[in-house]
Amino acid sequence: MKASQYLISTLKEVPSDAEVASHILLLRAGFIRKIASGIYNWLPMGFRVLKKVEAIVREEMDASGALEVIMPVVQPGELWEESGRWGKYDEGLLVKFNDRHQRDFCLGPTHEEVITELARNELRSHRQLPVNLYQIQTKFRDETRPRFGLLRAREFVMKDAYSFHLDESSLDETYQVMHDTYSRILDRLKLEYRAVLADSGSIGGNASMEFHVLADSGEDVIAFSSSYAANLEKAESIIPEAETADPLPRTQVDTPGMHTINEVASFLKVDATRTVKTLIIKADNEDSGLGLVALVLRGDHQLNEVKAAHLPGLSTPITFANDAEVHAATGADPGSVGPVDLGLTCYVDHSAAALSNFVCGANQNDVHLTGVNWQRDVPAYQVADLRNVVEGDESPDGQGKLTFKRGIEVGHIFQLGKKYSDPMKATVLDDNGKAVTMMMGCYGMGVTRLVAAILEQYHDNRGMVWPTIVAPFHVIIIPINAHKSPEVAKVADDLYRKLEAAGIEVLLDDRDGHRPGAKFADAELIGIPHRLVVGDRGLSDGVIEYANRSSGESEHLPVGDVVTRLTEWVNSDR
RNA sequence: CGGGGUGUAGCUCAGCCUGGUAGAGCACUGUCUUCGGGAGGCAGGGGUCGUGAGUUCAAAUCUCGCCAUCCCGACCA
């Protein structure tokens, strides 16, 4: 490709609405342009990369035995009524509209309903199973907060696969195949990543793992030890040994103006780990004790809302009671609430439940209790895992301690079971001629998100540094003063033709009106792995200057060796 | 959806506090010089100052509403 005939839309300045590296670089290098919040155009240079990422995903999915289909972006509301998600799926995310006949439709945020409809019509016999169908499609989710460019867009490209099975063991098998396939895709993209245990969220189901590309800009925190890795929202806390200190008498103390754990702890000169905090949460119905429940955590711990949402009787998403409701239920304002004589259903985190002689609010403003003990002072309560693990916690599998890293979720695999096949009556006949509801698995991978995730790991202060396998071009040729030197023009053009003939993707920067400095800067910004500079200087010695974008190293190559060497380098790397 | 910030030329921003003929750099067009790390001169084109009200003789500037957009929190590939 000749640059003079291509669209290179680089920006010298950083667009004001971008903060993370991938977003800034995608805009500056002219890969994408925003058309509305979370909605982007892809320019030619960016589209080349997107297509390459897509191709790798497709190759590995095909190799796994999955079959590619394409489903519509627009989906009938009826199907969502059938699965029960029309009114239940996060209202904000689902964009609904009517056609001219006033029938309900939505823009597909995901395709479980459509695929299940497809499967129940096409799959009739157990002999057709298992089958794994996938597509690479544009999704639309009206995210509450699109951000970071491609990392959280509203319109994005996703690879989603759905598998159908007669029984659980078959589902397990495909689930494992998808796990391996995802690992292969991320390996080929040269990404540093982790597969972690995950909560299955609103899509539902049993087993579930996320694939995270490690990056400081990641929105998720993952907790891991040598042999365990989980999303923070899923990571289990270990159950500590109960303390066995002799119970002290329960004592009421005045704590004027002390509301936060830190204030109370330093006022009473105790460690925050000796205190307990009590959060008042709305229940999912009004008849359980004023419609509220209490969650009790050790003072230094944080509530894990995902874990809490799994408790029976709580509103989801978790909603905190407001100050007036707290006061009405406990007789005190938040900050002075505690589990003693509370009169609400009380869930206590393991770590808080292990304490003895602890400090808590007295349900009376500006008063706390010390020497509080479970059983004696709080006879009725239930113990559960409610908190976020913290760095240094024992790993739940007993192997070492947990450390944290941030990750970008690029893939998520689920075992759905019969969550959709059951309400939508997707059955096949088994070998006894009996109708059996199919088991389903579902496997998502964010393709556009992957493009950004790669950039988060592959950039430097000059711009993008693409791994060869997804680079928009493999080689860029920059002729110096070609307008003056017929020799330079001829050699550059000759190399260009020969490299193309060798199957290398070459960009020849033959743009008039751009001086060498500008071309160098563009080449580095766009992140083309190999750069050849053709100038009189080198030609007089019979060499071409070569520079590697990733290592920054350069060397002189004899003109005659260039095609062989480049072909070798590029092919060994893709 | 809660909290905060920002809307002036294609991009980055100044002007607003203290109301009085809309600016700079980059980009773009023409032209000359230049050509190994984002060149320089000359001549140009381009903005109903997000939007709607209000105050005023007069509003980019002051007031209120709305919209858009970005950032921090709850959701997801």
Residues A59 and A195 in one domain: yes
Buried-state track A351-390, b at ≥16 Cβ within 10 A, e below 16: bbbbbbbbbbbbbbbbbbbbbbbbeebbeebebbbbbbbe
pLDDT on residue A321: 82
Flag whether A217 is in a domain.
Answer: yes
A532 CB inside 7 Å of strand B: no
Q: Which two tokens stand for residue A172?
A: 């397990």
Q: How far apart are CA A483 and CA A512, in angstroms?
A: 8
Q: Calculate the alpha carbon distances from A269 to A93, A261, A373, A470 in Å.
A: 48, 12, 19, 58
Buried-state track A533-572, b at ≥16 Cβ within 10 A, e below 16: bbbeebbeeebbbbbebeeeeeeebebeebbeebbebbee
Q: How far apart are CA A318 and CA A307, in angstroms?
A: 10
Q: How far apart are CA A7 and CA A113, in angstroms?
A: 40
Q: Are the beta carbons of A527 and A470 closer than 8 angstroms?
A: no
A201 CB inside 7 Å of strand B: yes
Q: Measured CA to C1', what is the nucleotide nearest A147? A: B70
First CA to last CA distance, chain A = 20
Residues A64 and A190 in one domain: yes
A494 CB inside 7 Å of strand B: no
Which residues 433-462 of A interface with strand B at a CB distance below 7 A? Answer: 444-446, 448-449, 462
β pairing state of A67-68 and A131-140: parallel
Q: B15 C1' – A11 CA distance, angstroms? A: 25
Which residues 126-145 of A interface with strand B at a CB distance below 7 A? Answer: 141, 143-145
Which residues 213-272 of A interface with strand B at a CB distance below 7 A? Answer: 219-220
| Residue among A98, A99, A77, A71 at smallest CA distance from A89 | A77
pLDDT on residue A320: 82
Q: B61 C1' – A14 CA distance, angstroms? A: 28
Q: Calculate the alpha carbon distances from A528 to A19, A176, A520 in Å.
A: 23, 36, 11
Residues A424 and A556 in one domain: no
Q: B40 C1' – A494 CA distance, angstroms? A: 33
Q: Are the beta carbons of A293 and A313 closer than 8 angstroms?
A: yes
Residues A98 and A175 in one domain: yes
pLDDT on residue A343: 84
Our count of domains for chain A comes to: 3
Per-residue pLDDT of chain A (574 residues; tens, 9 = 90+): 999 999 999 999 998 888 899 999 999 999 999 998 999 999 999 999 999 999 999 999 999 999 999 999 999 999 999 999 888 776 668 899 999 999 999 999 999 999 999 999 999 999 999 999 999 999 999 988 898 999 999 999 999 999 999 999 999 999 999 999 999 999 999 999 999 998 766 555 678 999 999 999 899 999 999 999 999 989 999 899 998 889 999 999 999 888 888 888 989 999 999 999 999 888 876 554 567 889 999 999 989 888 888 888 777 777 788 778 888 888 888 888 999 998 888 999 999 999 999 999 999 988 999 999 999 999 999 999 999 999 999 999 989 999 999 999 999 999 999 999 999 999 999 999 999 999 999 999 999 999 999 999 999 999 999 999 999 999 999 999 999 999 999 999 999 999 999 999 999 999 988 999 999 999 999 999 999 999 999 999 999 999 999 999 999 999 999 999 999 999 999 8
Query: Phi and psi at residue A97, in whole multiples of 5°?
Result: -155, 170
Q: Which two tokens stand for residue A244?
A: 């066995």
Flag whether A390 is in a domain.
Answer: no
Q: Which amino acid would we find at residue A284?
A: D
A525 CB inside 7 Å of strand B: yes
Flag whether A563 is in a domain.
Answer: yes
Q: How far apart are CA A528 and CA A1, in angstroms?
A: 13
pLDDT on residue A270: 92
A412 CB inside 7 Å of strand B: yes
Supply the CATH number for residue A380's domain: 3.90.960.10
Q: Final residue of a domain: which of A396, A428, A455?
A: A455
Q: Are the beta carbons of A459 and A527 closer than 8 angstroms?
A: yes
pLDDT on residue A109: 93
Protein residue with the closest CA to the C1' atom of nucleotide B72: A145
Is the alpha carbon torsion for A305, A307, A313, A317 positive or negative?
positive
Protein residue with the closest CA to the C1' atom of nucleotide B27: A11
Flag whether A443 is in a domain.
Answer: yes
A17 CB inside 7 Å of strand B: yes
Q: B35 C1' – A448 CA distance, angstroms? A: 39
Q: How far apart are CA A13 and CA A24, in angstroms?
A: 10
Q: Describe chain A by its helix, strand, coil percentages, rounded to 5.
A: 30, 30, 40
Q: Calculate the alpha carbon distances from A356 to A265, A340, A368 in Å.
A: 16, 14, 15
Residues A19 and A115 in one domain: yes
Flag whether A244 is in a domain.
Answer: no
pLDDT on residue A204: 56
Q: B30 C1' – A235 CA distance, angstroms? A: 66
Which nucleotides on chain B have any atom < 7 A from a protein Cβ? 1-2, 11-13, 25-28, 34-39, 68-77
| Residue among A166, A211, A270 at smallest CA distance from A450 | A211
A148 CB inside 7 Å of strand B: yes
Flag whether A424 is in a domain.
Answer: yes
pLDDT on residue A203: 57
Supply the CATH number for residue A545's domain: 3.40.50.800
Residues A477 and A547 in one domain: yes
Residues A300 and A363 in one domain: yes
Residues A260 and A367 in one domain: yes
Q: How far apart are CA A123 and CA A100, in angstroms?
A: 33
β pairing state of A403-417 and A208-214: antiparallel
pLDDT on residue A205: 61
Q: Measured CA to C1', what is the nucleotide nearest A309? A: B74
Supply the CATH number for residue A209's domain: 3.30.930.10
Q: B23 C1' – A34 CA distance, angstroms? A: 27
Q: Is A387 helix (H, G, I), strand (E, B) or coil?
A: strand
Residues A255 and A362 in one domain: yes
Flag whether A391 is in a domain.
Answer: no
pLDDT on residue A285: 64
Residues A408 and A365 in one domain: no
Residues A431 and A549 in one domain: no
pLDDT on residue A68: 98
Range of the domain at A550: 473-571
Flag whether A379 is in a domain.
Answer: yes
Helix or strand holding residue A57 (H, E):
helix A44-63
In the DSSP assignment, the letter for residue A309 is: H
Residues A445 and A543 in one domain: no
